[in-house]
Amino acid sequence: QVQLVESGGGLVQAGGSLRLSCAASGRTLSNFAMAWFRQTPGKEREFVAAIRWNGGRTSYADSVKGRFTISRDNANSTMYLQMNTLKPEDTAVYYCAADPNWNWSYQGSIAYWGQGTQVTVSS
């Protein structure tokens, strides 16, 4: 079994930065793609960014392109999301996910999820 634990969330002013981490344990995820999603109350969880197992491919939602950067350190089983120029609309619970396939459209099929970390951006 795999456990994903997010950290790094918090309260930040608009224009500020945060770096989220997702630490994996239980088995190696070096062959898994990993991703970040986010969810606000009353809305569906939405895709934010994803990265292939070797970092050779990344993908971003249009709303975060140019501001967020996804990366991973397979040696330490950790994925990161560097978030810059944060906006109040980035406020959400951020979840990390891992899956052997590159298919983030159907969230019901994603193999592993973390519990989430809250990010709040004040205006």
Q: What is the pLDDT of residue 4?
A: 96
pLDDT in tens, 91-117: 999 999 999 999 899 999 999 999 999
Residue the block writes with tokens 């906006």: 87
Q: Which residue has the higher pLDDT, 74 or 7?
A: 7
Q: What is the pLDDT of residue 16?
A: 98
Cβ–Cβ under 8 Å, residues 9 and 117: yes
| Averaged pLDDT of the chain | 94
Q: What is the pLDDT of residue 29?
A: 79
Q: What is the pLDDT of residue 38?
A: 98
HSE, side-chain direction, 13 A CA sphere, residue 33 = 17
